[in-house]
Every structure is written in structure tokens, then in C-alpha cells.
Structure 1
Amino acid sequence: MTLQIPEDVNLYDELVKQAKAHPKKVVIEDTSSSYTYSKFLIAVTIMSKKLEQTIGNDKRVGLYLPNVVGQVIVLFGLFKNEQTPCLLNFTMGTTNIIDCIETASLGTVITSREFVKKADLGFVVEEMEKQVKVIYLEDLARGITTFNKITGLIETRTSRLKKKAPGEVILFTSGTESKPKGVVLTHRNIYANIMQVFAHIEIQENDRIFNPLPLFHSFGMTVGSILPFVTGTKTYLFPSPLAFREIPKAIHKDKSTIFVATNTFFENYAKFATKEQFQTLRIVVAGAEKLQNDVRKTYHDKFGITILDGYGATETSPIISLNTHQFYKVGTVGKLIPLMEAKIAKVEGVQEGGNLMLKGPNVMKGYLIHGQGFVPSGEWYNTGDIAEIDEDGFIHIIGRLKRFAKIAGEMISLNKVEELALECFGESKFYAVCIPDKRKGEQIVMFTTKSKVSSRDLKKFIKSKKMSMLYMPASIEIVDEIPLLGSGKPNYWKLEKLAKNQ
């Protein structure tokens, strides 16, 4: 049977359908609360009324909240009110946050006093308040009266599908190259991606998703927070992916079966986890950055887990391709999910592969550009990734087009430089960037947290592989830690800045 996505999708209506079908089933939990479908729908109904009274009919509303159930309640409350949530990345600097507020023309941002205090973000909120009205979740909750609760309960019991106008959600790119762009995803984009994943990999009714990724991360939002209200699969929200000791314990306690993280995060969890803590995990997916062979091997040998490489982008809601236990090829990011098409466009100077172009029902509506407004997506979405698709349909990501250095007229993949260092030294603790060079155009600087690294050994290794010495970094810098983005990816922009200063 061919997968078909309806034209009219509203995610609030999907919640109502699930709540009517499974009222008493627990659907979402965090470290301090647990909600059945029925309880969640009542909370959403009450919250939607409070939002209506407090915010009025603002078209777009900013959310600056941690990874807790309260944020998902606000998200669906806004869906019910036909307003667009704009999920602000609290790991961005103050300037980028203000840029996001301006890009989306926000008048209101919802945050939490407890969160702002714990995360020490008071200075960011102070800057926000110069631009927008800031509303605190605690004040909304305190303002809920007995009358609100009774009317909310009555409305929930009589709630019917709204058949509302197509809704949207706005996420923001990290803004490491210029001002952050708003990515406009429709409810249909997100719903399509969930259905595509269900058609691609076997997710069961009793599966339990463990989600430490924040909602401003597209996977944290789509799979970790919205999927349960479309499919009936439970999710557990953990407030931070950086709690390396606590997360294995929480997975064990929840008996989670699905877990998604980045290579960097997986490497750190492995240091503290026991085999027993990970024994219930059935589907473990790595995304956002390349899964390194040493991390893959650690999970296979220590935990008996095969990590499945996946690939996605905020602009595709986010999942594009995924290895499965049935169709798996090491070194690839799997096959395209159903209803997606791909083509490879040649790039001058790049010998292997080309620019990966995509289309499908999960591809964004378009961008919000600072100072320009909405720019619709073209027929094909340009990923900016250099890739190859093999004869079996598996996608090999060679690197970001921006992750190539042009040295003496040659295009050198920075990902390949990192891979050579990994092969040579046996650890995936190497991060390459390029900076301008008066003589050769650009030069490569590599950062590592590994002490006692010999340039001579790497040079010998590159020669032994019969590869060009252009792959040899101009310098190798040892640092205490590698800066990360909120998504868990290495922050190459910060490393590039550091390289230029040195």
C-alpha cells in the first residue's frame, strides 16, 4: 500500500483523536510529571484559554523553555488557538536570540522563572524585555482558577475535531554563518515526517522514546514531543542531553526502547553506562553529525547495540534517511524514507559525489529571512551536503559543501582530514577547520582534546595511505574541551574563530 499524506492536517486534531482512542494511556512524562492522553488534553484546553486571555491573538509566539511537559502543553495550546509557536534556542547567544525575535516579528515570549534562574539566563531575558512582552509559565499556572479547570474539563469531554486552518511551527538555524534563519514547517510537514518514519522502520505500540533533545532541535520536537500525539507511542522528556551520568540511569528506570543522540553525546554516555542500563533499548539512532567507528564499536562491544546512522535537516522536519536493522550499511546514513526524492548536482572542483537535492511532503514551506520576511521553498531543497547514492540506494555523506577547504586550487574535505586523524590515532577527538592563507588560499587547523599528538605520525600515516599532503593540517592545537552547539554538534564556527585568533 502506498503511503498517502492528507492535505489538511492539524496537530491539535491528531491529539484529540488519540485522546478519544486511548484516554487512560500514559503518553508523556518528564522528571517530575506524568500525563495520560485525557489529562494532557485537559491541560492543553485550560492552557489555551489562559494563553488567549494573556496574549490575545498574536500570530506568532516565542517559546524560551526547557525540555519539560509544560512546554509541550503550551505548544499544543497555541496549536488549538491557531497561533504559531516559534521555538527559541536557549543555547544561542543574546544577539542571536534578539535576531530571531526580530526575524519572526515576535511580540510575546513565554519562559519560566525557575528555568531562567537555573540556567543563569537572566541577562538574556533582560535584553528580550526591551523588545517583547515576557510571560512566565509560573504566572500562567498560578492564574488557573477552579472555574478554568471545570470549563476545561467540560470542553475536553465535548471536544470535536476543529478542522482548523493549516498550522505552522518556526524553528531557527544556529546562525553560525550569519543571522539565524527561521524555518517554517507546516503541521502537514511534521505529520508527513512522522508517517514516513513509521513506514520506514518498525516502531511498535509499546515502544518508549527517551528524548533528551530540546524542542528547538527539530528531532526533539518532531519525534521526541509531537510523534506521541499522532501515533500513541509514549515519550520521556529529559531536561538536558549533557547529563552524561544521569541519562543511562533514567533510560534504565523508564525501560526506554528508542533513543536518539549525536556521536559526541553517545561517546560520553558510554563512559558512565552499564550494559544493564541500556538493555531495553531496541532502536538507537545517531544523527546531526557523523557516527565515528570507535563509538560504533564501543556500543557494539560493550552494550550489544547496533547504532543506526540517520540523516536529517531542520528544513525536512527533520528525517531524510535512516539505516534500519533490516537494511543497514556501515558508513552510510541509510536509504531515503518513503515519499522523498533525491538527485545529485555536480559541484565544480569536487571530485566525489555532488550537492544533494531533495523533495518530499516533509520539506519546509520556506524560510523567514531577517530584514526580508518569508521566502518560499523551491521545488528542490538544496541540503548543502556533498553526497553519493550507491546502487543499493544507500546515501554516503562526504561532507558539507562549507566543510571543504580550497588549498592550492584543490577542494579538500575537512571531514576526510578528521577521518584520517581518527584512523591514525584511534580516537574520534579531532575537529578540522579552515582559515585564510595568503600563499595557498586556505589552510587547515585541527583541534583535539587528546594530549601528546604527533604531527610527524599523522604525516607518515597520510603518506602511507598514498594521499595528497594537502590533507595534512598546517597545525594541530590541543584544547581542554570542544565547544558544542545546543544540538550536540561541534561548534565549528567557534573553533574557526579560535584558529584565526591563534
Structure 2
Amino acid sequence: TWLAVLIAGKVPVMCNWTAGPANFAHGLKATGARHVLTSSRLLERLAGQGFPVDNHADAWIALEDAPASLSLLDKIGAFLRARLLSLPLVGAAAMPRGVPGTAAILFTSGSESLPKAVPLSHANMLANCRDIAAVLRLTTHDRMLAMLPPFHSLGLTGNIALPLLFGLPAVYHANPTEGARLAALARRWRPTVTVAPPTFLDGMIRKARPGDLTSLRLGFVGAEKCPDALHAAFAAISGGVLCEGYGVTECAPAVSVNRPEDVRPGTIGLPLPSVRTAVVTPETPPRRVAPEETGMLLVSGPNVFGGYLGVEPDKQPFVAFEGRTWYRTGDLVSEDEDGRLTFRGRLKRFVKIGGEMISLPQIEDALLAAFGERAEGEGPALAVESGDDAAIVLFAALPVTREEANAALRRAGLSGLSSVARVLRLPALPVLGTGKTDYRALRTLCTQTDQGVSTLNGGK
């Protein structure tokens, strides 16, 4: 469907229904999309989950109903054009003119603010695919287990474009949260490579039976921090290696990745071959920071998008530095002497307490190290967020008290300012369709209660 829309001269907009009705409607409005290609079965499921399907009744086009509107002449013409496109000498000439320069419009995750529309060009995605295939040493002998939806930039590039471009057989499953089903597919089809956020990969490993995942030689994880324990779990159950990387939708998406021959857990690896990075001071004018010092990550390269749709030029995330235009990621990293990057958190995920900038990801890491193994089931075990009062709130899907949490933070060597003010117990932490923790939802919960310890969805 994605390729058909392009060949028809239209710009594909990848709609994310998992972001919720408000963000979905925002995406349609921001891009001016008038029609949504979908299926009746999906609409029935969404309606059953409370999604206001009727609000967009005029937009839906169910693909399974579309053939009924095509005449025999339409079908014969399409068949002949498809055959011409497959011929080596005439395929390029037969390609319809007017294929848009935008390969797809995706949206930022919306984990911290309203999603922004990100137009990616064909060149953006092709550069990323070339780099990923080279550094991960993919061959036509590999087979991919693909679970990410096309509204996820890693799903569109890594699960759809990459296998098509390099001839990799791919086994697809529509729901990345169904760990047992994914493990069963791996047992049947024997894939060698999978691409997934750590949350989804962890769910598959937890549900796998002995022998299910032994064909996997390589796992590529991104979109969120990969726990060190997942590296060991993947190696133990598959015998393969897990390569953590870093990327953002605006970079189509990969920026850096650990190489299979030299994995360093806890880092996000080296920049891709065609990508340049700079680690600079967050304030302007920027200057490069010293090795191992934390700074703002800037990215330049053929994979970097041209700017958000509908955003004024002076509000675009680009900066001039050392005679070059860079994309300012908003992410903090450090770089060692060898150029290897370590993710340190989002600039937005700091809170000022007592005149000091406190890192919420650092607190999360310390608490996960202390309590993460006590988590049961799938999904993130805990997360921390701060409300308007700057108080740090721990959201936990496991039994932990405020006193236990703060004692763990002291043992980890964090300052007294890095203290949990209250704990909110949840049956499960909210996650986006990309597998990331939904921090916007957590911030909303921060403002809804000022109780010291609460249990939501089933308690006080």
C-alpha cells in the first residue's frame, strides 16, 4: 500500500492510532490528509477499544472493499504496468512521473509533547538502509522477524524498506506485544535477524520456549534504553548478539549503533558511516565538550530530514556550527576517545531542584538496577517523572515503597536532591505504540494526585 500510494503520485502519511484519538486527529489536520487507507477489521477492533471511529467516518477507505470499485479494464491495465515495471530495460521509463520526493510523513513519538509531522525523503531512507546493512553485515542469507508497524520510523525503514532493498525474506506479525506468538513464529520460520525496541524484545524472550529463538544471530534494538540484563538474556536464549543503537524519526531513524564485532552494553555505539555527530554545550553559541563530558548531540548527514511540516523556519531544530548545518536532537550524550556515544537523557527530562539540574533518566537507571528484576509480566517495570511542583514521582508496576526507592538512590551514590517524593503504583506503565514509555501520560497522572503512595486502576 505504501509503494502503491507513492506510485500513484500521493504522499503517504503513516497514521499512528495507538497514540490516541487526539494525537491521531492532530496528525490528520497537520498533514491535510483527507483519506485513510485501512481495513474494516482494524476499524472494528478500534471501535471496540473506545476509539471514536465515527469521528472520521468520511476519511476511512477499507482496502478489502476497494477491488469492487475497479473495472476489468482497470485491473488489466494495472497488471500490464506492473509487468513493465519489472523489466530491466523499460522499468525506469514505465515508472509513472510525479512520484513525490517525500517517501513518507511520520510523526514524532508524542511521549513529551504533541507529535510533529516529519517528512522523510527517499534519499533519507536509502542512506539509512545502506549504512545499517553495511555495519550489521546483513546478507541475502539472513531472514528478518519483523514486528514494528509502519508508523514507527524504525519499522518503516528497518522492517519494510530494508528487506525490500536487500532481498531479505521477512516474517511479519502485526502486534509486537504478543511475545508468545512472535516466539512461535521464530520457531517455525527460523529468522536470523530482528529489529525491535527492548520492551517488545523482552516480552518475546520472556514468552519463548527452549529452542524458539536459537536461529537469531543478531538483534538490533533502539527507541529506548536497553537494560544490560537484556543483552545477557538474548545471548542465553539465542546465542546471538544484541546491538543497541540510537535514532530519532528525524534521522530516518538510525544515527549510531554498536557493531556486532564490538558490542559495549550501556552505549549506543559509533555513528553510522555517512553520519557526522558533534557533542556540544546546550547553550548558544555551542562549543564542543571534552571527551566523556555530557553535551547536546548534533547530527549531520544524508539521513537527516529537511524540517517539520507546518513549522516556521525560525522554530526548526537546526543550528549552524563549524560551517555546517546540524540537526539539534535535544538529547544529551557523552563521547569517549574512540567516538563511541553513551546516551545520557533528554534535555527536557531534567528537573531543577535546589538550583541543581537533576537527571530523571539517571534516577530511573538506579532504580531499575535495584528493583527491575522484581518486575513481573511485560513492559517497563518503573519510570520517574516530575509534575509542575518539581517533585519527583516514581511510577511502578512492582512492589516498592518510597523509603526503599530513596535508600536505593543513596546506595547508588546520587545526591540527596535526587529523591522520590511519592510513589504511584500502576498495574502496567503506559507505553506508546513504539514501545516507549508514555511520559506525557505520566505527567498528567503527576498532577492528578498528591498522595504519598497510590494504587491506580484498582485501588486508592
Relative to structure 1, the CA distance from residue 361 to residue 435 in structure 2 (aligned partners, 3 Å threshold; closer, same or farther) is: same
Matched, 1:498 2:438: no
Match of 1:139 in 2: 65
Match of 2:435 in 1: 488
* CA contact 1:312–1:321 (8 Å) conserved in 2: yes
1:150 positional shift: 2.8
Question: Higher mean Cα deviation, 170-179 or 475-484?
Answer: 170-179
**Per the alignment, in what secondary structure is the counterpart of residue 55 of structure 2?**
helix
CA–CA distance in structure 2, aligned partners of residues 207 and 295 of structure 1: 22
233, 236, 240: which one aligns with 1:301: 236
Length-normalised TM-score, structure 2: 0.85
Matched, 1:288 2:214: no
CA–CA distance in structure 1, aligned partners of residues 208 and 300 of structure 2: 39
CA–CA distance in structure 2, aligned partners of residues 407 and 231 of structure 1: 50
Question: For each residue in 1:280-328, what CA deviation from the matched residue of structure 2 results, as whole angstroms up to 9, or x when unmatched?
Answer: 1111111111011222232233443332111111100111111122132
Match of 2:15 in 1: 88
33, 48, 54: which one aligns with 1:126: 54
Matched, 1:337 2:263: no
Match of 2:396 in 1: 448
Match of 1:405 in 2: 351
2:44 counterpart letter in structure 1: K
**Per the alignment, in what secondary structure is the counterpart of residue 494 of structure 1?**
helix
**Per the alignment, in what secondary structure is the counterpart of residue 380 of structure 1?**
strand
Relative to structure 1, the CA distance from residue 98 to residue 140 in structure 2 (aligned partners, 3 Å threshold; closer, same or farther) is: same
Relative to structure 1, the CA distance from residue 105 to residue 397 in structure 2 (aligned partners, 3 Å threshold; closer, same or farther) is: same
* CA contact 1:275–1:303 (8 Å) conserved in 2: no
1:184 positional shift: 0.7
* CA contact 1:265–1:488 (8 Å) conserved in 2: yes
CA–CA distance in structure 1, aligned partners of residues 371 and 59 of structure 2: 52
Match of 1:27 in 2: none
92, 99, 102: which one aligns with 2:26: 99
**Per the alignment, in what secondary structure is the counterpart of residue 18 of structure 2?**
coil
Question: Higher mean Cα deviation, 394-403 or 424-433?
Answer: 424-433
1:374 positional shift: 11
Matched, 1:477 2:424: yes
Matched, 1:364 2:305: yes
Question: For each residue in 1:175-210, what CA deviation from the matched residue of structure 2 results, as whole angstroms up to 9, or x when unmatched?
Answer: 344432110101111111111112222001121111
Relative to structure 1, the CA distance from residue 247 to residue 500 in structure 2 (aligned partners, 3 Å threshold; closer, same or farther) is: same
CA–CA distance in structure 2, aligned partners of residues 137 and 217 of structure 1: 21
* CA contact 1:79–1:167 (8 Å) conserved in 2: no
Matched, 1:148 2:74: yes
1:122 positional shift: 7.8
2:417 counterpart letter in structure 1: L
* CA contact 1:294–1:426 (8 Å) conserved in 2: no
Alpha-carbon RMSD: 2.3
1:157 positional shift: 2.5
**Per the alignment, in what secondary structure is the counterpart of residue 13 of structure 2?**
strand
**Per the alignment, in what secondary structure is the counterpart of residue 329 of structure 2?**
strand
101, 113, 119: which one aligns with 1:167: 101
CA–CA distance in structure 1, aligned partners of residues 100 and 39 of structure 2: 29
**Per the alignment, in what secondary structure is the counterpart of residue 202 of structure 1?**
coil
CA–CA distance in structure 2, aligned partners of residues 208 and 375 of structure 1: 42
CA–CA distance in structure 2, aligned partners of residues 267 and 226 of structure 1: 24
* CA contact 1:430–1:449 (8 Å) conserved in 2: yes
**Per the alignment, in what secondary structure is the counterpart of residue 230 of structure 1?**
helix
Match of 2:189 in 1: 254
Match of 1:205 in 2: 140
CA–CA distance in structure 1, aligned partners of residues 405 and 111 of structure 2: 30
CA–CA distance in structure 2, aligned partners of residues 319 and 192 of structure 1: 10
1:252 positional shift: 1.6
Match of 1:239 in 2: 174
Question: Higher mean Cα deviation, 133-142 or 477-486?
Answer: 133-142
Instruction: Note the residue ranges of structure 1 that are not aligned, 5 or more in a row.
Output: 1-73
Question: For each residue in 1:36-70, what CA deviation from the matched residue of structure 2 results, as whole angstroms up to 9, or x when unmatched?
Answer: xxxxxxxxxxxxxxxxxxxxxxxxxxxxxxxxxxx
* CA contact 1:369–1:375 (8 Å) conserved in 2: no
Relative to structure 1, the CA distance from residue 178 to residue 373 in structure 2 (aligned partners, 3 Å threshold; closer, same or farther) is: farther
Relative to structure 1, the CA distance from residue 135 to residue 461 in structure 2 (aligned partners, 3 Å threshold; closer, same or farther) is: closer
* CA contact 1:368–1:374 (8 Å) conserved in 2: no
Relative to structure 1, the CA distance from residue 303 to residue 152 in structure 2 (aligned partners, 3 Å threshold; closer, same or farther) is: same
Aligned identity (percent) is 31
Relative to structure 1, the CA distance from residue 335 to residue 404 in structure 2 (aligned partners, 3 Å threshold; closer, same or farther) is: same
* CA contact 1:210–1:235 (8 Å) conserved in 2: yes
**Per the alignment, in what secondary structure is the counterpart of residue 260 of structure 1?**
strand
Match of 2:294 in 1: 353
**Per the alignment, in what secondary structure is the counterpart of residue 205 of structure 1?**
coil
Relative to structure 1, the CA distance from residue 374 to residue 193 in structure 2 (aligned partners, 3 Å threshold; closer, same or farther) is: farther
Match of 1:182 in 2: 117
Match of 2:161 in 1: 226
* CA contact 1:432–1:445 (8 Å) conserved in 2: yes
CA–CA distance in structure 1, aligned partners of residues 396 and 316 of structure 2: 40
* CA contact 1:366–1:375 (8 Å) conserved in 2: no
CA–CA distance in structure 2, aligned partners of residues 208 and 337 of structure 1: 22
Matched, 1:385 2:331: yes
* CA contact 2:143–2:169 (8 Å) conserved in 1: yes
CA–CA distance in structure 2, aligned partners of residues 368 and 217 of structure 1: 17
**Per the alignment, in what secondary structure is the counterpart of residue 82 of structure 1?**
coil
Instruction: Note the residue ranges of structure 2 that are not aligned, 5 or more in a row.
Output: 86-90, 284-288, 319-324, 374-379, 450-460
Question: Higher mean Cα deviation, 184-193 or 167-176?
Answer: 167-176
CA–CA distance in structure 1, aligned partners of residues 419 and 70 of structure 2: 63
Relative to structure 1, the CA distance from residue 258 to residue 149 in structure 2 (aligned partners, 3 Å threshold; closer, same or farther) is: same
* CA contact 1:219–1:318 (8 Å) conserved in 2: yes
CA–CA distance in structure 1, aligned partners of residues 217 and 314 of structure 2: 41
CA–CA distance in structure 2, aligned partners of residues 347 and 373 of structure 1: 20
CA–CA distance in structure 2, aligned partners of residues 375 and 410 of structure 1: 28
Relative to structure 1, the CA distance from residue 374 to residue 251 in structure 2 (aligned partners, 3 Å threshold; closer, same or farther) is: farther
1:235 positional shift: 1.9
Relative to structure 1, the CA distance from residue 426 to residue 237 in structure 2 (aligned partners, 3 Å threshold; closer, same or farther) is: closer
Question: For each residue in 1:217-267, what CA deviation from the matched residue of structure 2 results, as whole angstroms up to 9, or x when unmatched?
Answer: 001111111223322122222111111211100122121111122222222
Matched, 1:77 2:4: yes
CA–CA distance in structure 2, aligned partners of residues 465 and 125 of structure 1: 48
* CA contact 2:349–2:361 (8 Å) conserved in 1: yes
1:166 positional shift: 5.3
CA–CA distance in structure 2, aligned partners of residues 105 and 152 of structure 1: 28
Question: For each residue in 1:107-150, what CA deviation from the matched residue of structure 2 results, as whole angstroms up to 9, or x when unmatched?
Answer: 22222111111333685332123xx5432212213334443333
